[in-house]
Amino acid sequence: MGLVEYQLFSDGEGLGLEEKILSILGELLKGQEELRNDVTALKVGQEELRNDVTALKIGQEALTSEVTHIKLTLENETNVKIQALFDAREVQKDVNQHIFTELDQIKGKLDRLQIETAHVRVVK
C-alpha cells in the first residue's frame, strides 16, 4: 500500500474521505510548488555557471593572445640582440686577427733588427 492509500484509509484523525483527499492534494501541490522553485533555482544557477564559463573562456582567450604577443615580442627582441652580439663578435675576431698579423710583422722586424745589431757589434 502506498503513502497516499495509507493516508486515505487510515482513521487516525477522523476526517472524511473528501477532506483527506483535499489535504493530500494540498500537500502534493505544496510539494510540486517546492519542486518548481527548486528547478527554477537550479536553472538560475545553471545560467550563472554558463555565464561564468563564458567569462572564463573570454578571459582565457585574452590571456592566450597576450601571452602570444609577449612571446613574439621577446623572440623578436632576443633574436635582434643575439644577432647584434654575433656581429660584434665577428668584428672583434677580425680586429684580433689583424692585430695578430701586425704583431707577427713587428716580431719579424725585431728579429731582423736584432740580427743586424748583432752583426754590427761583431764587425766593430
In the chain (124 residues long), the average pLDDT of successive 10-residue segments reads 55 72 95 97 98 97 96 92 95 97 96 89 77
Range of the domain at 112: 3-123
Q: What's residue 68's pLDDT? A: 96
Q: What's residue 123's pLDDT? A: 77
Phi, psi of 83 (to 5 degrees): -65, -40
What the block records as the C-alpha cell of 106 is: 713587428
Q: What's residue 95's pLDDT? A: 97
Q: What's residue 120's pLDDT? A: 82
Q: How many CB atoms lie within 10 A of CB 38?
A: 10
d(CA 83, CA 75): 12
pTM comes to 0.48
Phi-psi label, residue 14: left if phi above 0, alpha if psi -120 to 50, beta otherwise: left
Residue owning grid cell 564559463 = 53
Q: What's residue 112's pLDDT? A: 93
Structural domains in the chain (count): 1
Q: What's residue 122's pLDDT? A: 82
Residues 17 and 8: beta-carbon distance below 8 Å: yes
Q: What's residue 3's pLDDT? A: 55
Q: What's residue 2's pLDDT? A: 57
Q: What's residue 67's pLDDT? A: 96
